[in-house]
Amino acid sequence: MPGNRRPPAKGGGKRPGSGGGGGERTLSQRVKTARGRKLSSTLWIQRQLNDPYVQKAKAAGYRSRAAFKLIEIDDRFGILKPGRTVVDLGAAPGGWSQVAAERVRASAAKPIVAIDILPMDHIDGVTILHQDFNEESAPDNLIAALSGRRPDVVLSDLAPETTGHRATDHLRIVGLAELAHDFASRTLAPGGTFLAKVYQGGTEGELLTALRRDFRQVRHVKPPASRPESPETYVLATGFRGRRPESDADDAEA
């Protein structure tokens, strides 16, 4: 199964505070379909050009429009407080890492840790691992990069390559969310937070049961920056109860 493989972001790569980006366009732009280009590609380009979040991301210096999804979730629920330790799964091109680093005031001495199969440019206050999260060694490498710290927040924007078949894509993204939850349940500090992308249609029963067992509150969130036509939504679990003893975990799996 493909892991956190996603197409590179279209848009600016400057960090916040670096300026750049003019005023927002006020007129809708139309893109002609070039010979040999699929209509779907043309529509994607046109949507990007006319998307206000793409324009806002460029103006603010964020690497992707996805930064505003995390901003909107954090503004509502306050999961990224100064001093918190964060792990960002499926981080490329780095929009979420930028937001997290700003809000927790990450530094070289206490960085957040990000991982993706795709390469990422440097972000101040972020330790970047270039690896597929599906690989067996990935969780241990993340733990090593944390240098003994337990994360307070595990973010997962992991997404599979889509097939266009809704049921298949749903199962694939839930599988990635389950991997992310397994990592979170083994590493989070008590009281910690887990945020993961899923697709609409409900989180799979086993995952939802596990989240409700491990966290005090579980809710689904679709931030305004998530396109209305997109099936994506996010599951937000807060108040991690603490890692269960191995004997309890074994009993639950029996």
In a domain, 39, yes or no: no
Q: In the annotation, is 197 catalytic?
A: yes
The predicted structure's pLDDT at residue 6 = 41
Q: Strand 86-89 vs strand 153-156: parallel, antiparallel, or unpaired?
A: parallel
Domain housing 137: 67-253
Within-domain flag for 38? no
Separation between Cα atoms, residue 84 and residue 192, nearest integer Å: 10
Separation of alpha carbons 139 and 222, rounded Å? 27
Q: Residue 63: how many CB atoms within 10 A of its CB?
A: 26
Q: Position of tokens 């990450």?
A: 106
Length of the chain measured in residues = 254
Write out pLDDT tens, residues 13-49: 333 333 333 333 333 444 444 455 554 455 445 555 5
Domain CATH code at residue 108:
3.40.50.150
How many separate domains does the chain show? Answer: 1
Determine how many CB atoms are found less than 10 A away from the CB of residue 178.
17
Q: What is the pLDDT of residue 36?
A: 52
Secondary structure (DSSP) of 89-108: ES-TT-HHHHHHHHHHT--S
Residue 213 lies in a domain: yes
Question: Residue 47 falls within a domain, yes or no?
Answer: no
Instruction: Please give the Cα distance from 71 to 224 (Å, whole number).
Output: 10
The rounded mean pLDDT for the chain is 80
How high is the pLDDT of residue 132? 95
Q: 92 exposed, middle or buried (CB, 10 Å; 0-12, 13-18, 19+)? A: buried
pLDDT of residue 122: 96
Q: Is 44 annotated as a binding residue?
A: no
The predicted model gives 162-168 an average pLDDT of 73
Give the per-residue pLDDT at 42.
53
pLDDT tens sequence across 90-149: 999 999 999 999 999 999 999 999 999 999 999 999 999 999 999 999 999 999 999 999
Instruction: Give the Å distances, CA to CA, from 43 to 18, 33, 102, 248.
Output: 30, 9, 33, 51
96 is in an annotated binding site: yes
Q: Name the residue type at position 93.
A: P
Q: Which of 56, 58, 69, 197 is catalytic?
A: 197
Distance, in Å, from the CA atom of 108 to the CA atom of 125, rounded to the nearest integer, reads: 5
Q: What is the pLDDT of residue 251?
A: 42
Q: Is residue 50 part of a domain?
A: no
For residue 178, tell me if it sits in a domain: yes
- 248 in a known ligand binding site: no
Is 242's pLDDT higher than 60?
yes
- Decide if 129 is inside a domain: yes
Angstrom CA distances, 143 to 92, 139, 186, 217, stand at 19, 6, 10, 25
Query: In 105-231, where does DSSP find H-type helix?
Result: 138-145, 166-187, 205-214
Please write the tens of the pLDDT for every residue from 4-15: 444 333 333 333
> Reduced to 3 states, what is the DSSP secondary structure of residue 170?
helix
157 is annotated as contributing to ligand binding = yes
* Residue 18 resides in a domain: no
d(CA 213, CA 215): 6
